[in-house]
Amino acid sequence: MKINKICCIGAGYVGGPTMAVIAKMNPNIQVTIVDINPERIAAWNDEDLSKLPVYEPGLADIVAETRGKNLFFSTEIDKGIDEAEMIFISVNTPTKTYGKGKGMAADLKYVELCARNIADVAKSDKIVVEKSTLPVRTAQAIKSILHNVGGDVNFQILSNPEFLAEGTAVEDLLKPDRVLIGGESEGAIESLAKIYGSWVPDNQILRTNVWSSELSKLTANAFLAQRISSINAISELCEHTEADVTEVARAIGMDSRIGPKFLNASIGFGGSCFQKDILNLVYIARSYNLQAVADYWEQVIILNDHQKRRFSDKMISTLYNTVSGKKIGMLGWAFKKDTNDTRESAAIYVTDHLLNEQAEVAVYDPKVRKSQMYTDLNYLNTRSEEENEALMTVHNDPYEALKDTHAIAIMTEWDEFKSYDWQKIYDIMKKPAFIFDGRNILDKKEMNKIGFEYSSIGK
C-alpha cells in the first residue's frame, strides 16, 4: 500500500519524537499526531518551542522544521484516523492499578479504546501499527476488535516497538541500532519498512512474526534493566569491601562479551519502561505457570527497590539516625538527565522516605516543573497534599535550594551539577556538610578537599 498520510494516536514521549523524525525524513508523507488531551496538543502547537510538552535535545529544531508543513498536531482523532492509510497506536500502557493483574499486568484500556475508535471510524483499508510497549499477543486482541467491529474494511496489524531512550530520543531515532517490524502481511511490513528505509539501511530493518516482535521489546528492556540491577547488586558488595564499583564495571566492560555500556551503578533505574515491562514479563510467565522464569525476572525489580531504599536508609543512618527537622537538598527529579520525564524516578521514592522521617526536602531540577513534582509525590498517597507542600519546597535556583541544608542527595546525572561552585555550596550549608551522590558524578577527593563528607554508590 502506498502511504501518503500517517496518523499517530498519542502525542507523548514516544509518539511525539518518533513522528517528528518520520515527518522530517519523509517530506512527502503527511503525519498527523492526535491526542485526547487538548492541553498537550496546544503545547505541541505552541509558537514558543520551549513549551513543547516533551523535552528532548534536538527535538524542537525538528518540530520547527516540519510543523505546519507535513507534521500536524490535532485533537481531531476521528478525522486523523479517517484520512490516514497507516495508523500508529502510541498511547500509554501503564501498570494496572486495579482488578486482575493489579500492580503487574499492563493496563490495555487505552489501546483497546484506540482499536475500537479505529474500527468505528475507518471507511477504507488501514495498516495499524502498535508502537506502545505491549504484552505479547496484544496485536491479536487489536486484530480481533478491528475484525469484529470494523465492518468490511481490511486491517493489517503490525508490531513496531520503539527502542528509543529518553534524553537521546532524536539521536536514537536518526541512528537506530535496528528497526523491528513484526507482522503477517508482507505487503504491510514492506509499506512500513519503506518509511524507515528513507534513512535506515535495509539490513537494519528486521522483519519477524508479530509475537517475536512483541516479546523482543519486553526482552530487550528486561535485559537492560537486569544489567543495572546486576551492577547495583555488586555496588552494595563494594561498599562493604575495598572494591570500587566503577573500577569493577570498567574491568568487566572490557570483556567484549559483556561490553561497556549500561554498567553505571546508580540509585536504581526509573522511567516508564523498565519496571512496567519486567512486571509484564513476570505476569505473563506466571500466567503460563512458569514460576522459575517469573521469579528470575522479578528479582531485577526487587533489587531495584532495595537499591532506592538503601540509599535513603544510608542517608538517615549517616545523619546520626535522624533527619527530623533537617533540610535535605535534592539535585534532580527527572529519572535520568536530558529529559523532563519523571515516571518512576528514584527521586520520588527517596523523597517520600525522607518525608516519612520528617525531613524537609528542597528540590532543584533544571527541566522538571514544580507542579509535576507535587503530582508525583501526591500520587503515592502517603500524606495530604498540604503536608507535601509544607515539607517539600521546589526552587528555580540550585544555590537557593541548597542553602542551610544538612545534606545533598544527587538523584539525576544532569551535566550542570558537575560545574557548580561546590566551594560556595559548602559555605552555605550546615556543617558537617554531607553529599550522597546517587549517580557517582562528583570526584570524591575534590569534595573531601573542600570539606564535604562525601559518599557515593558502590565505593
CB 422 within 8 A of CB 440: no
Residue 228 near ligand UDX by CB under 6 A: yes
Binding residue (CB under 6 A) for ligand ADP from 19, 31, 71, 91: 91
Partner that binds at residue 238, options ligand ADP, ligand UDX, none, CB closer than 5 to 8 Å by kind: none
- What span, in angstroms and rounded, lies between the C-alpha atoms of 153 and 236? 57
Binding residue (CB under 6 A) for ligand UDX from 90, 93, 138, 221: 221
Binding residue (CB under 6 A) for ligand ADP from 14, 158, 170, 433: 14
Q: What is the three-class DSSP state of 342?
A: coil
Residue 170: partners with Cβ closer than 8 Å, 6 or more residues away: 17, 21, 56, 57, 58, 59, 62
Residue 219 burial by Cβ neighbours in a 10 Å radius (0-12, 13-18, 19+): middle
Binding residue (CB under 6 A) for ligand ADP from 23, 63, 114, 368: 114
Residue 32 near ligand UDX by CB under 6 A: no
Residue 77 near ligand ADP by CB under 6 A: yes
- What span, in angstroms and rounded, lies between the C-alpha atoms of 71 and 63? 8
Residue 73 near ligand ADP by CB under 6 A: no
Of 322, 331, 399, which is closest to residue 359 (Cα–Cα)? 322
Residue 102 burial by Cβ neighbours in a 10 Å radius (0-12, 13-18, 19+): exposed
Residue 336 near ligand UDX by CB under 6 A: yes
For ligand UDX, the closer CB: 155 or 335: 335
**Beta-sheet pairing, 71-74 with 86-89:** unpaired
Which of 7, 8, 114, 273 is catalytic? The answer is 273
Of 28, 9, 24, which is closest to residue 60 (Cα–Cα)? 24
User: Among this protein's residues, is 273 annotated catalytic?
Assistant: yes
The closest residue (CB) to ligand UDX is 271
**Beta-sheet pairing, 327-331 with 407-410:** parallel
Query: Considering CB under 6 A, how many residues would be counted as binding ligand ADP?
Result: 20
Distance of CA 201 to the CA centre of its chain: 27
CB 455 within 8 A of CB 442: no
Shortest approach of ligand ADP to residue 113 CB, angstroms?
Answer: 4
Partner that binds at residue 270, options ligand UDX, ligand ADP, none, CB closer than 5 to 8 Å by kind: ligand UDX
Q: What secondary structure letter does DSSP report for 151?
A: T
For ligand ADP, the closer CB: 89 or 188: 89
CA distances (Å), 297 to each of 215, 235, 284, in order? 14, 19, 11
For ligand UDX, the closer CB: 185 or 219: 219
Shortest approach of ligand ADP to residue 451 CB, angstroms?
Answer: 42
Of 443, 420, 416, which is closest to residue 338 (Cα–Cα)? 416
Partner that binds at residue 10, options ligand ADP, ligand UDX, none, CB closer than 5 to 8 Å by kind: ligand ADP
Residue 113 near ligand ADP by CB under 6 A: yes
What number of other Cβ atoms are within 10 A of residue 122's Cβ? 23
Binding residue (CB under 6 A) for ligand ADP from 3, 36, 153, 293: 36
Alpha-carbon torsion, ordered 311, 316, 317, 320, to 10 deg: 150
Q: What is the three-class DSSP state of 23?
A: helix
User: Which residues within the stretch 213-272 sit at the binding site for ligand ADP (CB under 6 A)?
Assistant: 272
Partner that binds at residue 114, options ligand ADP, ligand UDX, none, CB closer than 5 to 8 Å by kind: ligand ADP
Partner that binds at residue 4, options ligand UDX, ligand ADP, none, CB closer than 5 to 8 Å by kind: none
x/- site string to ligand ADP, residues 143 to 182, per CB under 6 A? ----------------------------------------
Residue 9 near ligand ADP by CB under 6 A: yes
The residues annotated with a catalytic role in the active site are: 273
User: Which residues lie near ligand UDX (CB under 6 A)?
Assistant: 162-166, 221, 224, 228, 262-264, 266, 269-271, 273-274, 335-336
User: Which residues lie near ligand ADP (CB under 6 A)?
Assistant: 9-15, 35-37, 40, 77, 90-92, 110, 113-114, 132, 272
